[in-house]
Structure 1
Amino acid sequence: MKGETAFAIIAVAAFLFISVFLLTFNGACGDEQTAPAPAGPVETTGPAPIQTLDIVETTPVTTGTETDPVVGRWIFDQTYTEELLLETDGSGRLVTTYPTSVNASSPRNITWTYDPGRTGQRMRAYHLTVEDAEVELLFFNEKEDNLRRHGQDGMVFYTRAP
């Protein structure tokens, strides 16, 4: 037997096998399936009412309260030290201290407000306005009890001071 003849026999056998397989399992010439008829008459109702949603404008709440979890003293201590003091009336102080005397440290006044629009399940968001700077964002993680500040210079992580 030559190679061409063997190849032709294998090709015909494969074609027959595939054809029989497809016909057996309704793959090639399968029956047309129809949807089952309903058992009884189907009642149709009118169109469903359109649901309208009220749009609520979210504005930051003015100041924190006595029970606000961010009230207190927060510390960042890495290559330099920052102390963030948040008062119950929405005011506070930010003091940055550098290890060298080249960069003088001075306290800056701040104001902060709660932002319910950005608050999630375990995160509370706040707007932080630092004296002579742009508005920054504070995020309080209720689960881990830490605070992070997002500003022009990047992100700073604070821990609660003892």
Structure 2
Amino acid sequence: PGSGEPNYDALEENPFANRRYRQEREVRRLLDKIPHTMISIDSMLGKIRKEDIADEWQKKQTALLGEIPKVAMPKVNRNKKKGGSRPGRIEKKKQLIRLERKLFEVSSVLRQKVPRLGKKKKEEKGQLPSDLFVNEKRTKRRTKSALDVLITKQN
């Protein structure tokens, strides 16, 4: 007894430390051991350049469809529903808008290249692009998409 250190350092081993704190402390201790020249803010190991992937996708798209003109999408006021601000629903709406934009760009290019394709679509039962996504049981509660508004304005 009495051979231990009289002034115990509480920061050396925190009895109330959680897992995150212990991990951070371990990282700090390891970083203190290595020389500062090895530490860099932006390391290139294992990093994917998103610009290269986007450029490659753009090249493939222009090779298949030609140059796609940028067309402004019309704004549509959608009816607000209860629980519509949940993160999953917001993400679902964003994905639907992205899909509509892609369909709109592709259909505009196809209409320019093959004009009779657009005429056949008008004769069929489903005239609007959102008819592809609507279940027959839910046609009464269906909301208009931006493409529906644009196509009805053109007709």
Greater strand fraction, Structure 1 or Structure 2: 1
TM surpasses 0.5:
no
Q: Which has the higher helix share?
A: 2
Q: Tell me which interval the TM-score lies in, with the shorter structure as reference length.
A: under 0.3
TM-score in terms of structure 1 length: 0.22
